[in-house]
Amino acid sequence: MIKGKFGYFCSSKKEKGCNFSIPAEICGKKISDTQALKLIEKVKTTVIKGFKSKSGKEFDAALKLDKTTGKIEFEFPKKRNNTSHHTVRNFQNK
């Protein structure tokens, strides 16, 4: 991979016809070298905070690479259930 002004590209793009690339910025969030490397090697990043939608709303998501199409997709973290399963015990000295 080669890092350019607009993102990350195959080093052999011209030779082998590689069309894969990672933009330098996705939804207003700059993609770091570490995140790009993780996306390539592990096919998925950890959750990245602070993406912005077209309407300006912030959201958090991991980036996931679809190996068959070469497209980068968002994978949203699972929302936690608001019900708590903590057991509360009342210990009293007798």
pLDDT tens-digit profile of 37-53?
999 899 999 999 999 99
Q: CB within 8 A of 87, min separation 6: which ones?
A: none
The label of the residue with tokens 């949203």 reads 76
* Cα–Cα separations (whole angstroms), residue 76 to 10, 23, 64, 71: 27, 19, 10, 16
Say yes or no to pLDDT of 68 above 50: yes
**Residue 22, exposed/middle/buried by CB under 10 A (0-12, 13-18, 19+)?**
buried
Q: What is the pTM of this model?
A: 0.73
Domain map (residue ranges) of the chain? 2-75
Kindly report which listed range (25-34, 47-56, 67-76) carries the lowest average pLDDT score.
67-76
Residue 88's pLDDT band (cuts 50, 70, 90): very low
